[in-house]
Amino acid sequence: MNNRENVNDRCAFCCTRLENFGVSVGGNVLLHDVNLHIHCGELTGIIGPNGAGKTTLLKAMVGELPFSGKMSFLDGKGLRTGSPLIGYVPQKLDFGPGAPASVLDFCSACISNIPIWLIHSPSNRRRVRDSLSRVQAEHLLDRRISELSGGELQRVLLACALNPVPNLLLLDEPVTGVDPLGLKIFYDMVSALRREHDLSIIMVSHDHQMISQYADRIVLLNKTVLAEGTPAEVFRNQRFVNLFGQQWNGVYHGQEAAAAIHHPE
């Protein structure tokens, strides 16, 4: 886990900020007054009840939904300002059982303007293989995308989201339907990628126990930010208790865990 003080110092110069961020569709307010400072090198978990706007937040950040307010980025060297380069892994993608596209075809379509039915150049094949190797999935290169397991598909989607390596990686419930072993492998992989590339990562999750083990920071969202802080701080917050009925008794980071469970705010 990254040292929080050092990360915050660095993020005075390298960060993504959401200011008064909101989303309204057809007169319905889906999000309002969301203010977040997303630190580079950290994994931020987004939790909340169904309908809280978690997926809406990610879709607005990648430009799939219009938003009000401001999203801004400044890197540590001052080389990129304005909007961050974002990688996005959706909750799921549905492929027909007979879809003939291979993993190579799919990944090529994500990184190239060349139609995928044309022959793949050696350089393109090498680039896709290198991307897959980041997530230990190079062996899937020639498999049909429709034949992949849930865990395998999520690795492929993650590889695509990391090509090129973004400033900010958004993961929307990326392990839904994945078995427990595959779930741990995915979380470990994401943690390793974060350390290697100093990535800012936002992960939407319903698995409070798992996210508490891997996230540096948790944001409790219900159309706006209700609480944020370390996993222990958020899971003992009275607003969390009000939404979920009880404090979470899962695994927390640090020695504050036991106190957090017994002394709600």
Per-residue pLDDT reduced to its tens digit, 204-255: 999 898 899 999 999 999 999 999 999 999 999 999 999 988 666 554 443 3
- Mean predicted confidence (pLDDT) in 25-37: 95
DSSP states of 70-93: EEEEE-TTSS-EES--EEEE-S--
- Residue 247 phi, psi dihedral angles, 5° rounding: -70, 150
| Cα–Cα distance for residue pair 135/234, rounded to 1 Å | 30
Q: Name residues whose C-beta falls within 8 Å of residue 8's C-beta, 6 or more positions apart in sequence.
A: 39
pTM: 0.82
Per-residue pLDDT reduced to its tens digit, 174-201: 877 777 777 888 888 888 888 888 889 9
- Helix, strand or coil, per DSSP, at residue 202: strand
- Omega cis (within 30) before 164: yes
| Cα–Cα distance for residue pair 214/183, rounded to 1 Å | 12
